[in-house]
A and B are shown apart, each in its own frame.
Chain A
Amino acid sequence: MPFIWQKNKSFIILAILIVLQLVLVSVQIPLGEEGNYFERAVFVVFSPLQHGIVSFAQGIGNVWKSYFSLRKAHVENDELKKELFFLTQENNLLKNALKNYKTEKEIMELLQKLNQNILYARVVGIDASNYHKSVIINKGSLDGITKNMVILDKSGNLVGRIIGPISLKEARVQLITDNECGVSVFTEREKALGILKGDGKGDCKLDYILSTDRDVFEGDSLITSGFDGIFPPGLAVGEIVSISPTEELFKEIKVRPHFEFRHLDQLAVIMVESKDLY
């Protein structure tokens, strides 16, 4: 036995490493998006490092901007941007919410609730295998982040939702462009209901619209329906860019999401569940 070990040591170690990782891979497949403990541990250890590096780079960039170019204007601009950011979020959510509320008292209560439930976040990491699948943000369980919280961009467009793993100061966001992501949506005009799925390449497709359906057109805007129980109703999602004829049961519809990956620096986390929002 020791002779075999001595002679084939490197191959035995390779086999052990591969088998261990194969076990790891096969264990996860039935779990879907739920990461295993080992993955969570690696994420918890290394994501703060990545967060630190990006924050450090952002810090240096901010020092440079603040002290060497337009010092006062930059600070003021940042404040205004932040204010605008919150106002845009609030405005979008209010627009949707007002449809359901009638009395002034109800509106005032809602306004207060919404204001408290928006958290400002920044992207500190992108997906290593496919950047259209997920991003890592600089808010975690210490900030009250939990799974399925909805993420919007600075204009209030739907970006995705929080999924695991969540560490103390970082969390992963599944983008709507991920091919494993599904969102229940309406067309804004005719209220045709479908499921939006990512194509993993930066766009999305609208599934389950019957080939015989005449209510869906190119250029139609899509909004969330709220039927999935995760995304609140009325959020702007994207626009239909093409409808291809098909001989199958459902139409082949391509959707361009409103959020732009290149401008995905500031994000808003909606801190309440969909059912508690309105």
Chain B
Amino acid sequence: MRQLLEIAIAIILALVLFAAFSYISVYLIQLINVFSLVVIYYATSKDEIHGACLGAVCGLIQDSFSLGVFGVAGIAKTLMGFIAGFVAKRINVVPAMRNFVFIFIMISLELILWASLYSFVYSKGLNTGRGVIFLQPLITALIGTALFPSLRKIIKSMYASRR
């Protein structure tokens, strides 16, 4: 129950950030993939099943905010969440540098998967927003690397204070 609440809060937080970014500038939602950050955080903290399920939920929410075939972002995020959880269970990705590389690879992988599925479904290339979208792995990885340690500390201290 507590875990579900935690995940729900994380999704709502991502939604708040997504709405705020779209309100500020269209480029921000291309630069920072907040839903993917939530998926990667939970996939690395829990396991690949959590990663895949949360990936499906976040991807479908993202799909509901876009005109087109519903489920394309869902599939890409499900696979990314699964792989993130699977890898994180075998390799320690907590140290800053590894964390950065890990997020960078995961976001790039998701972007490739999403672009391939998009091109397959629509038989067209996607809008790269004058190339802005290619910066997404880098910017999202930088933000994730800066954010995850503090998040881990906060959640750890919350659990510790409960005990």
Binding partners A and B: yes
Question: From residue A250, how far is it (CB to closest CB) to chain B in Å?
Answer: 19
Question: From residue B125, how far is it (CB to closest CB) to chain A in Å?
Answer: 9
Question: Which residues of A in the span 17-45 have a Cβ within 8 Å of any Cβ on B?
Answer: 17-18, 21-22, 24-25, 28-29, 33, 35-36, 38-39, 42-43
CA gap between A49 and B20 in the complex, in Å: 12
B interface footprint on A178-217 (CB within 8 Å = 1, 0 otherwise): 1110000000000000000000110000000000000000
> Which stretch of B71-79, B98-106, B140-148, B150-158 is in the interface?
B71-79
B90 at the interface (CB under 8 A from A): no
CA gap between A53 and B16 in the complex, in Å: 6
Query: With A18-B78, A25-B72, A25-B121 given, is the CB distance from A134 to B67 under 8 Å?
Result: yes
The answer to whether A10 and B48 touch across the interface, beta carbons within 8 angstroms, is: yes
The answer to whether A126 and B75 touch across the interface, beta carbons within 8 angstroms, is: no
The answer to whether A136 and B70 touch across the interface, beta carbons within 8 angstroms, is: no
Partner of A50, one of B15, B56, B118, B129: B15
The answer to whether B20 and A130 touch across the interface, beta carbons within 8 angstroms, is: no
The answer to whether A129 and B73 touch across the interface, beta carbons within 8 angstroms, is: yes
CA gap between A9 and B53 in the complex, in Å: 13
Query: With A14-B52, A47-B64 given, is the CB distance from A126 to B78 under 8 Å?
Result: no
Interface residues on B, range: 35 or more
The answer to whether B64 and A46 touch across the interface, beta carbons within 8 angstroms, is: yes
Question: Which residues of B in the span 1-56 have a Cβ within 8 Å of any Cβ on A?
Answer: 12, 15-16, 18-20, 22-23, 26, 29, 47-49, 52-53, 56
Partner of A128, one of B16, B47, B66, B71: B66
Question: From residue A24, how far is it (CB to closest CB) to chain B in Å?
Answer: 4
Which residues of chain B come closer than 8 Å to A14, judged between CB atoms? Answer: 48, 52, 78-79, 82
Which residues of chain A come closer than 8 Å to B62, judged between CB atoms? Answer: 128-129
A interface footprint on B95-130 (CB within 8 Å = 1, 0 otherwise): 000000000000000000000001001001011010
B68 at the interface (CB under 8 A from A): yes
Query: With A21-B56, A22-B75, A128-B73 given, is the CB distance from A133 to B68 under 8 Å?
Result: yes
A interface residues, tally (CB under 8 Å):
47
Of residues A38, A42, A128, which shows the largest number of chain B Cβ atoms within 10 Å of its Cβ? A128
Of residues B16, B23, B47, B124, which shows the largest number of chain A Cβ atoms within 10 Å of its Cβ? B23
Which residues of chain A come closer than 8 Å to B48, judged between CB atoms? Answer: 10, 14
Query: With A21-B78, A53-B16 given, is the CB distance from A13 to B52 under 8 Å?
Result: yes
CA gap between A127 and B86 in the complex, in Å: 31
The answer to whether A126 and B67 touch across the interface, beta carbons within 8 angstroms, is: no
Partner of B127, one of A25, A180, A200: A200
The answer to whether B75 and A21 touch across the interface, beta carbons within 8 angstroms, is: yes
The answer to whether B66 and A17 touch across the interface, beta carbons within 8 angstroms, is: no
Question: From residue B132, how far is it (CB to closest CB) to chain A in Å?
Answer: 11
The answer to whether A50 and B70 touch across the interface, beta carbons within 8 angstroms, is: no
Which residues of chain A come closer than 8 Å to B121, judged between CB atoms? Answer: 25, 29
Q: Chain B residue with minimal CB distance to A164?
A: B67
A75 at the interface (CB under 8 A from B): no
The answer to whether A42 and B78 touch across the interface, beta carbons within 8 angstroms, is: no
Q: Which residue numbers of A lie inside 8 Å of B, CB to CB?
A: 9-10, 13-14, 17-18, 21-22, 24-25, 28-29, 33, 35-36, 38-39, 42-43, 46-47, 49-50, 53-54, 57-58, 125-134, 136, 163, 172, 174, 178-180, 200-201, 261
Complex A-B: 18 CB contacts under 8 Å:
A9-B49, A10-B49, A17-B78, A18-B75, A22-B75, A28-B70, A29-B121, A39-B70, A46-B61, A46-B64, A49-B15, A129-B62, A129-B67, A129-B68, A129-B72, A129-B126, A133-B67, A136-B65
